[in-house]
Structure 1
Amino acid sequence: MGEELELMLAKIIETSNNNITITDEHGTIVYSNPTHWTMYGLEADAYIGKSVYELEESGVLSPSINALVLKEKKEVQILQHTTSGKVVMSTGFPIFNKEGRLVRVVSYSQDQTEIVKLQKQYQQLQSKMAGYQTEVEELREKEASHHPILFRSSTMQHIFTTIQRVAKTDASILFLGESGVGKSTLARYIHDQSERHKEPFIEVNCSTIPETLFESEMFGYEPGSFTGAHKSGKQGLIEQADQGTLFLDEIGELPLSIQVKLLKVLQEKKMMRVGGKEERHVNFRLITATNQPLKKMVDAGTFRFDLYYRLNVIPIRIPPLVERPDDIPILLQHYLQLINDKYNVEKKLHATTYDLLVHYEWPGNVREMENLLERLILTIEDPVIRPEHLPIELQKTRKEAVEYPTSFDANREEKKTLKETVEEVEIEMIARAYQQCKTTYEMAEVLGVSQPSVMYKMKKYKDRLRLNTT
């Protein structure tokens, strides 16, 4: 090799961003990148002229990639563990002369310590999540609940604690809240946790029964009591709930005439079928729900005050989703999985779609969320549900929309590479997630990535992120 060529090779290796080591056929180091040995906790250029076998024997290289290539006479890749605690990925390549004799070995090394650490953290997180999932499944089986109550917000935690405290009793419960917040699910949960869980749970939506049929539906009727009546009569919904739970949803729609009769049933534990002469004893636990202001209806005379106070023993207001945003991510994950399983598909949410759904105000609450996800999963052919698949009104109602580049303008004054553009978007999204979330785990959920990835990117962009930590 000529002197100029050798100098040029030495300079290339010296200035390279890669960690390069070249040995001769005897394993003697002839060239080495100055920063290469810092990964092994040693001074740069301290081992030019040293034998890799000697370094391997002393424990500096464990093992030596160049020594392995000399032995195998082919490309080799290994993970090394240094005395300084680092994990190094090394790849070695043999160099043969014209006669086919191995004359040099060139190896490249990369510090993988941080990546291995992130992988370990990710595995630990996966293991922990699997453990949590197992605990949840065991809890569901133990409680025999077909309607899991999913929440993360402190508001719902307080409500859930109250529900657990009163579930074992027979106290009347009145759920207040907007349509779709999950009142019927909570009523079912209370029944499942009560002493009556083996008995019927009868749910009645008072807004769906015509007033003319209400009495016969609720109290039943005797044979021949009116034109069109079944010849053997019919058992009413109140009788069907005997020994179990009667859940009257939309109780504010209950006609005044039925309110009087219902109050008598609650007071006397007796009822009579339409056209009947014999009172029947009934024993049920009553749960009611409404999205109407019953107190104002009492003041206006459209709802009986004595029935109101009979129902209002334990009032529980269920807040809309807009007041408990912490619950939205876990509900999204639950219903996405539930509907995927239902239709045997594996649709996923794009990170931006997920972000839009998390920040949507959900005027229809949980019911709207479930219906929207089901519609998207059934009507979108792509395996990934993207922002453009969402309804227009949903895309426009996000409180703090993130601006994403939608096209590349070759004529713009400030030309940026794809990498630079991607980095800018990542930095913007991380900064917004940081302001919105309390932990890196919540940030990961919002961004649609793993928590170790969030940590890595925050470290990567720490000098460019404008994080308000005050």
Structure 2
Amino acid sequence: MQIDLLQTELDKIIETSNNNITITDQDGIILRSNPNHWSIYGIEPDQYIGKSVYQLQEEGILSPSIHAMVLESKKPVQILQKTNTGRTVMATGFPLFSNSGEIIRAISYSQDQTEIFNLQEQYKDLEKKLVSYQNEVEELRGKESDYHGILYRSSSIEQIVRTIYRVSKTDASVLLLGPSGVGKSTFARMLHAQSSRKNEPFIEVDCSTIPETLFESEMFGYESGSFTGASKQGKQGLIEQAEQGTLFLDEIGELPLAMQAKLLRVLQEKKVMRIGGKKERQVDFRLITATNKNIEEMVEKEAFRLDLFYRINIIPLQIPPLKERREDIPILVQHYVQTINEKYSMSKKLHAVTYDILTQYNWPGNVRELENVIERVILTADEETIHPEHLPINFKNISLPVEAHATPEIEHGVFDDADWKTAIEKTEKSLLLRALERCKTTYEMADFLSLSQPSVVRKLKQYSIVRKR
């Protein structure tokens, strides 16, 4: 009687599961399975119970068979299957051993992932169609664009801005990749601001700062009295707070595996249950994630779930570091000098050589480091003009080309206080010195400066500049 009850319970669990649960013996013969899910393989229940998974694999119904792989390797396996009905299935299989260590069963869980892959295909189709809408895209092409707080001149950032503009009209999940400090949260906010959800909440969560013991209560919330120290009124979780809006999970690579599984369930079922709750709540939000880690490498090392990776990686965007888009540095330097001056009611200026050093530096901390350095020197420099000696010690060894030292201060809009006549004289002298370094004769200097040769000779004499022999 007890055995019959257990059999009935097992059959009901398999039948009502959201996953397709299949159990085979050590020879690959199917013993039990969920009949409601086999339609994705194009066969009826009476066509697989009692059959060998090896036979179904040869017939192309299971391509490949997760059970065959588990029985062969005697280890857990996770794969993507392609069915003859055109579906894509995520399958995970586990071996079951006897007390003597012999494999006696293989159990698999599979779920239709076709919707996710269709979204990826729809995105590719959308990209092709939008190529023709050049007039709309041209609005984003400004060489010194300030677009939702994103300043750029580089073609790489321009391409990312274009892509964000396109995908913002959909609800596809976006994964922002790149080293720390490149501004991934700024791009996430831009994506939200461009979307149809722009008037709804934007909830940003730094996964690296929430302790694992508190993560579930923070993300899912809790009902009143669900644990010691809980608020009497209960608490709405961060996922619920993003209702109708955008949930941005920064540093998702830091998410513990246990939490990855729970997040995956929310993404699949669009439901969340508070700690201590008895009723699931429907949720609707757009998901954006970001990380500075190599997620694909983490998947290979089993530090990140493959099925969650497929959920968040529909639209991946790689944000390059500043050293790979050096043309963005000058506009960022000028922007932060102006912004920080306004913030503290100051009027500090950069000396030309200081400016050149900042634009030549590699900025390993990217935009965040650049902003911090400029704020530091503006606040700590005693003089109105910030000279190279005001910069942190790691900037002392930046070597500049000769022409950089000769670059007129007025060229950068940070020229020291001077009248018009003095400014022009300094500019002319600086240009002559630069030409003198590059050219061998006054005729070459004339070509370089787009002047006549007699004018070059006259100006060299005017400024007492003598060529060294």
Shorter-chain TM band: 0.5 to 0.7
Q: TM-score, normalised by structure 2?
A: 0.58
Q: What's the counterpart of residue 174 of structure 1? A: 175
Tell me if structure 1 keeps the 8 A contact 2:353–2:404. no
Q: Tell me by how many angstroms 1:463 deviates.
A: 5.8
2:179 matches 1:209: no
Distance, in Å, in 1 between the alignment partners of 2:371 and 2:199 is: 28
Give secondary structure in 2 for the equivalent of 1:288.
strand
Q: Secondary structure at the match of 2:204?
A: strand
Contact 1:247 1:288 in 2 (8 A): yes
- For the 8 Å contact 1:329–1:445, the answer to whether it is kept is no
SS in 1 for 2:304: coil
- TM-score, structure 1 as length reference: 0.58
Corresponding residue number in structure 2 for 1:149: 150
Aligned counterpart, 2:396:
395
1:150 aligns to what SS in structure 2? strand
2:411 is aligned to 444
- What corresponds to 2:331 in structure 1? 330
Does the CA-based 8 Å contact 2:350-2:414 persist in structure 1? no
**Is the CA contact (8 Å cut-off) linking 2:252 and 2:289 kept in structure 1?**
yes
The structure with more radius of gyration: 1
Change (3 A) 1:153 1:281: same
Q: 1:324 to 1:366 in 2, by over 3 A?
A: same
Q: 2:227 corresponds to which residue?
A: 226
One-letter code aligned to 1:466: R
Q: CA deviation at 1:190?
A: 0.7
Q: Which residue does the alignment assign to 1:429?
A: 405
Q: CA deviation at 1:267?
A: 1.0
CA gap of 1:458–1:156, structure 2 versus 1, over 3 A, is same
- Identical positions, percent: 59
Q: How far, CA to CA, are the matches of 2:216 and 2:187 in structure 1?
A: 27
| Change in CA separation of 1:225 and 1:263 when aligned onto 2, cut-off 3 Å | same
| CA drift at 1:448 | 6.4
Letter in 2 for 1:334: H
Task: Give secondary structure in 2 for the equivalent of 1:315.
Answer: strand
Q: Which residue is 1:183 aligned to?
A: 184
Note closer, same or farther for the CA distance 1:447–1:464 as it changes in structure 2 (3 Å cut).
farther
What's the offset of the Cα at 1:464?
1.9
Opposite residue 150 of structure 1, the aligned amino acid is L
> Could you say what the CA RMSD is over the residues aligned between the two structures, in angstroms?
3.1
Aligned to 2:436: 464
Q: For the residues of structure 2 that align with 1:304 and 1:279, how far apart are their CA atoms?
A: 24
Tell me by how many angstroms 1:162 deviates: 1.0
Size of the aligned set, in residue pairs, is 295
Mapped contact 2:242–2:285 kept (Cα < 8 A): yes
Conservation of the 8 A alpha-carbon contact between 2:410 and 2:427: no
Equivalent position amino acid for 2:158 in 1: Q
The aligned residue for residue 239 of structure 2 is: 238
Instruction: Please list, as runs of the form range in 1=range in 2, the aligned pairs for 1:64-463 lying within 5 A after superposition.
Output: 145=148, 148-396=149-397, 398=398, 400-402=399-401, 429-430=405-406, 444-445=411-412, 460=432
Q: 2:322, 2:362 within 8 Å by CA — same for their partners in 1?
A: yes
Unaligned runs of 5+ in 1: 1-134, 403-424, 434-439
User: Does the C-alpha gap of structure 1 residues 458 and 349 become closer, same or farther in structure 2, counting only changes over 3 Å?
Assistant: closer
Cα 1:168–1:428 change in 2 (3 A) is: closer
Contact 1:354 1:448 (8 Å CA) reproduced: no
Specify every segment of 5 or more residues in structure 2 that has no aligned partner in the other structure, as ranges. 1-140, 449-469
Contact 1:242/1:283 (<8 A) preserved = yes
With over 3 angstroms needed to count, the CA separation of the structure-2 counterparts of 1:212 and 1:342, relative to structure 1, is: same
Are 1:354 and 1:446, in contact at CA under 8 Å, matched by a contact in 2?
no
